[in-house]
Amino acid sequence: MGIGATAGAAAVGGIALSANASDATSSSASDSLAFDPDAWTKLTKTITDTEGTEHTVVYHFWKAITYVAEPVDATYQSLIVSAPVEIDGKAVDASDAPILLANSVGGYLPASVATATEIGGGGSATGGAAPGGAPSASSSASAQAAAPGANGTTNATGGATSSNQLLALAAGYVVVEPGARGRTLKNSGGEYYGTAPAAIVDLKAAVRYLRANKGRVPGDVERIVSAGTSAGGALSALLGASGDSPLYDPYLKALGAADASDAIFATGAWCPITDLEHADGAYEWNWGANDLSTGKPVDQTVSKALRAQFAEYQAGLKLRGLGGFGRLNARNLDAYLVEQYLEPSATAYLAALTDSARAAYLKANTFITWSAGRASFTWTDFLTHVGARKKDAPAFDAFDLSAGENNEFGTGRALARHFTAYGAEHDSTGLTTRRVASGIPAALDLMNPMHHLSGKANPGRSKHWWIRLGTKDSDTALTVSANLAARLDNLGDDVNHLYYWDEGHGANTDPADFITWIARVTGHKSRHP
């Protein structure tokens, strides 16, 4: 197992590569990264579907496999594979089944499957060790705990979509769970080796490994469907948007990634924490009127400045809303969100209640007008209903470099860096240069799916998208997934996007529908719960 890059590491666009970059080649990696189809352990799992019915699934399980020839840290750069062979006593042939690639990244923290002994055995780290995994030999728990956002103060950890893995297995799909490096990893020399773009490079390398092993790894490598939550949702969306982008080639070559495509067929993203360079403005546009949970109002000078920045950004996107809404801008985005997402979400929620439960809910929430089986309300009343916002201003590029996202853009021995001009200009840590570092723009492009969907959109992107967000999720702005969905829809992609009413960060209230959606978009005829 390797450790982080040394001082002699090469760099591309100001972003460090591993020290062995010049020695690794993709072609040799493909030759050495052969999946052993016979190295499985037979396991049995009882899985309860969303209707409460139990299914007995016998499956082949492959323990952690390193997916690159020159790993920086194999504890994280490994994956596990689960393939069903019998469901409820009936033999299953999963050789042509869709592959669910489910990452467990949360908060841009490291995720490991190194010691997993069954499906769902990996997790996202909040300190020195990943749940279900082992601490990196080259990382320090105390050093990681001191990193911005490492104690759960930023984004929720991943795994909220873990029910997807089990339901997918019970439906006859192959499930692959990749680990990935994260922002808190630090080597013995004090250098961070899991910051941007490490996580997305690792996930791409995992896809390349699967594709290079077509015919050996179980499942249809042409039908890989990604899934992730929070930062993992952002990485899932990025994986789908950036398929086969040459921007990542130097990083993949440095790791000895397999010589294969890293494009995926479909993308599932739950509450994606993404579009980070514009996230502060989006957050203030969305939640700027709401106080913090302590009752403290945010600095309105900061909030207004960021809202103005977002208005300019939103206009520049030139997006057309779904449902024939027309051009989206900061003046009509609230009406769009209410009409396209929030009222339909509330309507579906209320319609599913019993008459007495619905009456009780409406009595407690008088801002909703219920007429002819449809809910209606104003944006202002909706904000009041949600109540306290989770994050201060700025929410992502904190003036004191305390946000997890500041750590995500750290480099070398620098724990955290500003990644927006506004954050750098208002730095409160005493930096002498109040400008973003030269390598930041390139790092942002590598981490933002919108970059790959703008202008001449990436032709290697996935064309099928499942996007979900809770209406009470103030970990990010409701606009983030709405803009992503609008961009994809404008490009002609198949977009299934909705909001869960009254749900918070990491919600996944329709997992069975996601499994059915996979069958539909991939054309796979199989049983599913």
Q: What is the mean pLDDT of residues 231-255?
A: 98
**pLDDT confidence tier of residue 150, bands split at 50, 70 and 90:** very low
Q: What is the DSSP letter of 297?
A: P
pLDDT at 341 over 90: yes
Lowest-pLDDT choice from 113-117, 154-158, 288-292, 512-516: 154-158
pLDDT at 402 over 90: yes
Judge whether 69 and 182 are in contact, CB under 8 Å. Answer: no
CB proximity list for 104: less than 8 A, separation 6 or greater = 111, 122, 123, 124, 158, 159, 162, 177, 228, 232
Query: What span, in angstroms and rounded, lies between the C-alpha atoms of 244 and 196?
Result: 18
> pLDDT of 357-397, one tens digit each?
999 999 999 999 999 999 999 999 999 999 999 999 999 99
**pLDDT confidence tier of residue 121, bands split at 50, 70 and 90:** confident
How long a stretch of residues is the chain?
529
Q: What are the two backbone dihedrals, phi and then psi, of residue 310, each rounded to the nearest 5 degrees? A: -65, -40
> What is this structure's pTM?
0.91
pLDDT score of 160? 44
How many separate helices (H) and strands (E) can be counted in the chain?
18, 18
Chain centre to alpha carbon of residue 497: 15
* Angle at which helices 511-522 and 162-170 cross, to 10°: 50
Q: Which two tokens stand for residue 296?
A: 């403290």
**pLDDT confidence tier of residue 454, bands split at 50, 70 and 90:** very high
Query: What span, in angstroms and rounded, lies between the C-alpha atoms of 84 and 61?
Result: 9
Lowest-pLDDT choice from 47-51, 223-227, 277-281: 47-51
Q: Domains (ranges, CATH) in the chain?
A: 11-272+445-522 (3.40.50.1820), 282-319+331-393 (no CATH)
More confident residue, 156 or 290: 290
Measured at the alpha carbon of residue 504, what is the angle toward residues 499 and 506, in degrees to the nearest 5? 85
| 144-170 per-residue burial string, b: 16 or more CB within 10 A, e: under 16 | beebbbbeeebbbbbbbbbbbbbbbbb
Judge whether 209 and 23 are in contact, CB under 8 Å. Answer: no
Place of tokens 């050789």: 95
pLDDT score of 32? 81
Q: Which two tokens stand for residue 316?
A: 């520049």
pLDDT score of 477? 98
What is the enclosing helix (H) or strand (E) of 125?
none
Q: Which two tokens stand for residue 134?
A: 């082992």
Beta bridge partners of 54: 48
Percent of residues in the chain assigned helix, strand, coil, to nearest 5: 35, 20, 50
In the three-class reduction of DSSP (H, G, I as helix; E, B as strand; rest coil), residue 52 is classed as coil
Q: What is the DSSP letter of 323?
A: G
Query: What span, in angstroms and rounded, lies between the C-alpha atoms of 210 and 217?
Result: 7
pLDDT at 271 over 90: yes
Judge whether 7 and 413 are in contact, CB under 8 Å. Answer: no
Query: What span, in angstroms and rounded, lies between the C-alpha atoms of 255 and 288?
Result: 42
Q: Which two tokens stand for residue 302?
A: 């900061």
